[in-house]
Structure 1
Amino acid sequence: QLLAIKQGASCLIVSCDGEVDDDVIEAAKQAGCVIITTPRDTFEVARLLTMAVPVKSKMLTSNILKFSVNTSIDDARKAMAKSRHRFFPVLNENGTYAGLISSPGLLKVRKKHVILVDHNERTQAVNGLDQAEIMEIVDHHRIGSVETTNPITFRNVPVGCTCTILFGLYREYGVEIPKNIAGLMLSAILSDTLAFRSPTCTPTDVAAGKALAEICGEDIEKYSEQMFDAGADLTGRTAEEVFHGDYKIFSRGNAKFGVGQGSFMTENSRKAAEALVGPFLKTAAESEELPMVFYMFTDVKSQVTEMLYYGAGAQEVLERAFNVTPDNGIAVLPGIVSRKKQVVPSLMSALQFTDDED
């Protein structure tokens, strides 16, 4: 013990409760050496010494990989894969510590459960769908690019509106439809079928619409006119809001394009919407990186659609799809009112023909 002190030891650990003589204590005081006695044996002491290193010597003070509580799991997983560390701090909205996350912990994260209604394509779904588990799909569109981890219930029926399918589910399970829900479902059916005028409309849609109108006490003709008039009111609305009111992105192979639609009861309301939305098509195409964007301005009463478009090759695709010659950037399409049944399939076929020629 004295030899260790004389050799300049700053700390002397005596294991197994060994005795320390008074002369050793005096020498330690003079040399500024700390003496620690412990009942542990020498082997245990040697192991515990590795834990005596100050925490600050192991702490990072710069270039710390950290995450926000709003960071997606996928982004966090990718960032963690590039780091040799296992645990990472998570900060809340105020930038203060909220907890820790680890690579093994991500494997235990329970995915959110979602049901896709009125769509089944990832391009039309909410952001982050890849990190969720699809439990069910209720839709009336073509079956697109959707994959699931496990078998699911997929109810796809060729009717004019998904709410017609939901109406059938209410009846199937014997659940009473509240008046306010019936009103919303009736609105959806009238909107999708253009008040039963669309070629997508089926007798099932009509029957569901009449039953829902009876529940909520509405006259279908009067209500549909009021609904379309309200939808065509542009007061206080921006071009972006009107454009995205009913807008979807479609894909065929490597080609992607967007198609929006607005329905109008009067020519004046349709023309006003065209003047507002028309210039926005370029912005929409560029912001979403789409080569082509189309927008249908549909006159419900006359069953005529005026199609505005933007993008290289968009006019050629329209000409081929509908055998028309657009004038001043507008293609007039008599009898064309359904995006799902008439417009999208025709555009898909025209794009296929163009690709085959190339």
Structure 2
Amino acid sequence: MSKTVYVIGHKNPDTDSVVAAAAYAALKRAQGQPQVKAARAGAVNPQTEYIFQRFGVPLPEFIPDLIPKAEYYIDELPPVIREHTPLWEALVLLEQSPRQVMPIVDAIGAYKGLFYYNAFAKNILTKINPHRKAVIPTSIGHLIDTIKAQPLVPTDCEAMFNGRIVVASLSAERFQDYIHAEPAHNKVVLVGDREEVMRIAIEAGVRALIITNGFIPSKDITKLAEAKGVAILISSYDTSSTSLLALYSTPVISVADASIKPIGPRDFMKTAKLAIAASPARAVPIVDDGGKVVGLLTEGDLIREPNIELILVDHHEFSQAVDGIQNYHIQEVIDHHRIGTFSTPYPITFINRVVGSTSTIITSMYRESRTPLDRAIASILLCGILSDTLVFKSATTTDTDREMADYLASITDLTIEELGRDIMGSASLAARLPIDQLLRMDRKEYEVQGKKLTVSQIELTNSQELLARQEEVLQGLAHIRTEMGAYLAALMATDITKFESILYIDADREFYAYLSYPMQQPGIYILKDVLSRKKQLMPALTEMVQAALG
């Protein structure tokens, strides 16, 4: 089974991150890799939602975390056995199964128990115990299928009953006494060529008569059986072999282990490991919300690679990545930010270019590979470039960004200036969001001398709307700082009409003495001509934190 490869951006994604994931996944699929899917690690902001809706592109799949779950280790749908399958047939299937453990399901595929050799050995003993009269659930149809018998006088083949297997080894006189000693309606009598014994059994009203060694009885016997409603089956095997096979006609569910409880696809692998350790089969089934089997985990699955791999776009540091990323193989990184402490134990493709947007890099990769661009994908790529460069006003903007934007505009027949106004206008809706949601948009985490910093950024066309909520903003930042145990929590609100940003900040008390930006009021600072968090704010903020920490 081929692995799924997710192209995914950073937590609290901005427009460029989500666009890059969608566009690069589309490029990979166009190049013959259908297993590549776009994903996002958080809710989208109003600007991103507007862009994807406007151009009719589905949003990437939301993956809140990648902490290992059972579904990431499901190789393929396991072979299953229907609960009424004869035991003999089930044993053949089990022998052919590579794992030698199989889920048992009902008619609609819902899990009923596990079938494995230890469970079979334990439960079959209760049916062949010589100190007890063996009673097995079976049916005429199961007996026919298991013994490969020829039905001579068929009756209801599907009806299940609790059958007693009786070998007619006594003399006719003694057998007469034995068969009438207790009700005979559930007895299955095995006999050779003795028609006198056959007649006694039929007149006693047994459920079925199995004649061994291929002997065909007289017409008188068959007519009597028809009149009494007794099934006659002809077995080509001898009596000893037939009696053994008759025991194996019982449905497999009767010897299954129903004590092993299933887990769900979204259950953490920690839960799965405990379940496997507690399972006598050293295996545990995985079922969906409807109880249907979708997978099977065994001890061997715990040491193999998960069935997903990753391509990171618009970030590479694990502190900014979806939780649990360290558990997976990373195929590629495509980014335009500073290179941090990222490393892998194996070689990967790492593309990092000095441009203002990851969407610029993805566009150039389409051109370099001569892959045709779908108009909708080209449209969102143009939006990604314009969003991340603040319509070329950001200090991070390069000539390459402008060149790629012109190329995309020519494909899409969109006007850069008009589109830029539209998407920046949609971004300003962020100021009306609930504070908790607003502060988690495009939030990135950093570390300076062992101290955590968290800095969010939003773009506005009117900074006054957010200033009216300044107390809410500062209280929200204080809550985030406490929640994360961070040294500093900040929001950079960039006004793209004034070419300035307002910095809302909550930090350790000692830090404020080193904060060199003009203060509008406590916790709020004016950043003239500062539009880029990456190139303008973070280098300066890092120096200030280092100075405060000594």
Same fold (TM over 0.5): yes
Quote the residue 2:540 is aligned against. Answer: 346
Q: Residues of 2 paired with 1:164 and 1:174: CA distance?
A: 15
Quote the residue 2:332 is aligned against. Answer: 136
Q: Residues of 2 paired with 1:166 and 1:339: CA distance?
A: 21
Change (3 A) 1:319 1:164: farther
Please report how far the alpha carbon of residue 116 of structure 1 lies from its aligned counterpart in structure 2 after TM superposition. 0.8
Please report how far the alpha carbon of residue 71 of structure 1 lies from its aligned counterpart in structure 2 after TM superposition. 1.5
**2:451 pairs with 226, 239, 255, which one?**
255
Q: Which moved more, 1:83-92 or 1:253-262?
A: 83-92
1:188 partner SS: helix
**8 Å Cα contact 1:69-1:93 kept in structure 2:** no
**1:329 pairs with 493, 507, 523, which one?**
523
Quote the residue 1:182 is aligned against. Answer: 378
Tell me the amino acid that sits aligned with residue 75 of structure 1: K
**2:322 pairs with 108, 126, 130, which one?**
126
Give the TM-score, by structure 1 length: 0.74
Quote the residue 1:75 is aligned against. Answer: 270
Root-mean-square deviation (Å): 4.1
Q: Residues of 2 paired with 1:218 and 1:59: CA distance?
A: 63
Please report how far the alpha carbon of residue 342 of structure 1 lies from its aligned counterpart in structure 2 after TM superposition. 2.0
Please report how far the alpha carbon of residue 189 of structure 1 lies from its aligned counterpart in structure 2 after TM superposition. 1.6
Q: Residues of 1 paired with 2:370 and 2:294: CA distance?
A: 46
Q: Residues of 1 paired with 2:177 and 2:482: CA distance?
A: 81
**8 Å Cα contact 1:87-1:100 kept in structure 2:** no
Question: Which deviations, in whole Å up to 9, do the C-alpha atoms of 1:50-88 show, x marking residues without a partner?
Answer: xxxx858x764xxx664212123x334543576464122
**8 Å Cα contact 1:89-1:100 kept in structure 2:** yes
Please report how far the alpha carbon of residue 353 of structure 1 lies from its aligned counterpart in structure 2 after TM superposition. 3.9
**8 Å Cα contact 1:133-1:149 kept in structure 2:** no
Please report how far the alpha carbon of residue 138 of structure 1 lies from its aligned counterpart in structure 2 after TM superposition. 0.6
Quote the residue 1:265 is aligned against. Answer: 461
Please report how far the alpha carbon of residue 235 of structure 1 lies from its aligned counterpart in structure 2 after TM superposition. 8.3
Change (3 A) 1:191 1:65: same
**8 Å Cα contact 2:263-2:272 kept in structure 1:** no
Change (3 A) 1:243 1:235: closer
Give the TM-score, by structure 2 length: 0.51
Tell me the amino acid that sits aligned with residue 191 of structure 1: S
Question: Which deviations, in whole Å up to 9, do the C-alpha atoms of 1:95-154 show, x marking residues without a partner?
Answer: x35266333134456421221111112232234423432111110012235444532111
Change (3 A) 1:69 1:185: same
**1:98 pairs with 277, 289, 293, which one?**
293
**8 Å Cα contact 1:232-1:270 kept in structure 2:** no
Question: Which deviations, in whole Å up to 9, do the C-alpha atoms of 1:235-277 show, x marking residues without a partner?
Answer: 8733334333322222345422211111223343453575664
Change (3 A) 1:108 1:193: same
**Pairs within 5 Å for 1:180-219:** 180-219=376-415
Change (3 A) 1:98 1:283: farther
Quote the residue 1:280 is aligned against. Answer: 476
Question: Which deviations, in whole Å up to 9, do the C-alpha atoms of 1:295-319 show, x marking residues without a partner?
Answer: 00112243322111124x1x64465
Q: Does 1:240 align with 2:436?
A: yes
Please report how far the alpha carbon of residue 341 of structure 1 lies from its aligned counterpart in structure 2 after TM superposition. 1.3
2:441 partner SS: helix
Please report how far the alpha carbon of residue 200 of structure 1 lies from its aligned counterpart in structure 2 after TM superposition. 1.3
Quote the residue 1:5 is aligned against. Answer: none
Q: Residues of 2 paired with 1:184 and 1:145: CA distance?
A: 31
1:71 partner SS: coil
Please report how far the alpha carbon of residue 190 of structure 1 lies from its aligned counterpart in structure 2 after TM superposition. 1.8
Tell me the amino acid that sits aligned with residue 343 of structure 1: L
1:261 partner SS: strand
Q: Residues of 2 paired with 1:254 and 1:66: CA distance?
A: 43
Q: Residues of 2 paired with 1:344 and 1:335: CA distance?
A: 14
Q: Residues of 1 paired with 2:368 and 2:294: CA distance?
A: 47
**2:310 pairs with 109, 114, 118, which one?**
114
**8 Å Cα contact 1:257-1:290 kept in structure 2:** yes
**8 Å Cα contact 1:233-1:269 kept in structure 2:** no
2:531 partner SS: coil
Quote the residue 1:4 is aligned against. Answer: none
5+ residue gaps in structure 2? 1-129, 135-166, 183-188, 191-238, 249-253
Q: Does 1:300 align with 2:496?
A: yes
**8 Å Cα contact 1:321-1:349 kept in structure 2:** no
Tell me the amino acid that sits aligned with residue 245 of structure 1: M
Q: Residues of 2 paired with 1:193 and 1:235: CA distance?
A: 20
1:67 partner SS: coil
Change (3 A) 1:187 1:321: farther
Tell me the amino acid that sits aligned with residue 541 of structure 2: L
Structure with higher Rg: it is 2
Change (3 A) 1:347 1:39: farther
5+ residue gaps in structure 1? 1-7, 49-53
Change (3 A) 1:189 1:29: same
**8 Å Cα contact 2:314-2:335 kept in structure 1:** yes
Size of the aligned set, in residue pairs, is 334
Change (3 A) 1:102 1:178: closer
**Pairs within 5 Å for 1:139-158:** 139-148=335-344, 150-158=346-354
